[in-house]
Amino acid sequence: MGLIAVMRKLRLVIVLSLLVAVGCAGPGGGPALHRPDLRLDDLARKEAGSNGLFSSYIANGPVRWNQGWPWQLDLSGVAWDSSVTATAIHPRIVVMAAHYLRPAGTAVVFHDRDGRAHPRRIQQVALLKDHGLPCDVAVGLLDQALPRQIRIYPLPHPGKDPAGRLALVTDQSRSLWFHRVARAEQNGLVLAHDPTLPASSRKSLVAGDSGNPSFLLSRGELILIETHTFGGPGMGPWYGSADVQAALRRAISALDPSAGFRLVAISP
């Protein structure tokens, strides 16, 4: 083999090694780095740039995720194809606001981190108010399980007080905001604006934001804490409530008694 051919082969090996090192894969830029030390407070105070989740979005795909600071947070487990969002808590189970839901037979589209669309259909819907708890939560059963590329969000372990924690808040514009947890009261969670944070990091929620989720971040894991019922800083069902989790289990069992679905709850 001549010297020129050897040099070309060497350059190819170096380029391929660099591509593997930076994790290039598909239109979304590949998998996110695992960052157990990532803190929402740091993002809210130090990060600049667009707070939109996508740099381009087509409901049935493909999409391009915003490669700025939002890329550090895996929001693939939320169906963003409508302002009526659906958030995955199991490969076949989503939660929505009961007063602003997608009925049975409706399509939902999730996008993985590479920007590929994963369409599903809601087969059945159950309301927590029909399963012993007057709460603004609807549970949807998907026709097929979501693939492992789509994030499934755990719930907070009951008994943990989230007051004072910074929450990641989403809205119908597919944007990310930072609000404080004011308090958990009975089965509801109340959020508040934090005046010590930049004004650009917070929002007053409005009609159409209902059902969009809020999260805590713990050891690199987003934990679902609330879906919006009211506006302003936000207020909705507290997913760390033992009563809410028990009603979720009853509703899920009613949708498919034979499936044996289990909720995952972790310490926030």
Residue 2's pLDDT is 56
For residues 258 and 10, which has the higher predicted lDDT (pLDDT)? 258
pLDDT of amino acid 262:
84
Write out the DSSP string of 25-49: -TTTTSPPPP-TT--HHHHHHH--S
Is residue 256 located within the same domain as residue 200?
no
Q: Are 238 and 167 in contact (CB under 8 A)?
A: no
Do 91 and 123 fall within a single domain?
yes
What pLDDT, on the 0 to 100 scale, is given for residue 186? Answer: 87
Whether residue 31 lies inside any domain: the answer is no
- Per the domain annotation, does 28 fall within a domain? no
Q: How many CB atoms lie within 10 A of CB 42?
A: 13
Least confident of 42-46, 89-93, 251-255: 42-46
Instruction: Kindly report, residue by residue over 27-74, the tens digit of the pLDDT.
Output: 333 444 467 889 999 999 877 789 999 999 999 889 999 999 999 999
Burial class of residue 26 (count of CB atoms within 10 Å of its CB; 0-12, 13-18, 19+): middle
Per-residue pLDDT, 111: 98
For the CA atoms of 186, 217, 235, 136, what is the dihedral angle to 10 degrees?
Answer: -70
The model carries a pTM of 0.87
User: Could you tell me the maximum CA-CA distance found in the chain, to the nearest angstrom?
Assistant: 78
Name the nearest CA neighbour of 112 among 25, 37, 38, 173.
25
Q: Indicate if 148 and 62 belong to the same structural domain.
A: yes
Q: Please name every residue paired with 177 in a beta bridge, in sequence order, or none if there are none.
A: 169
Q: What is the CATH number of the domain that holds 231?
A: 2.40.10
Give the pLDDT of residue 36.
Answer: 84
What pLDDT, on a 0 to 100 scale, did the predictor assign at position 87?
A: 98
Per DSSP, 71 falls in state G
Q: Which helix (H) or strand (E) segment is 111 a member of?
A: strand 107-111
Q: What is the pLDDT of residues 171-210, one digit of tens each?
A: 999 999 999 999 998 899 999 999 999 999 999 999 999 9
d(CA 226, CA 212): 8
Q: Does any domain span residue 18?
A: no
Residue 14 has pLDDT above 70, yes or no: no
In this structure, the answer to whether residues 61 and 171 fall within a common structural domain is: no
**Residue 228 lies in domain:** 156-237
At residue 34, the pLDDT reads 62
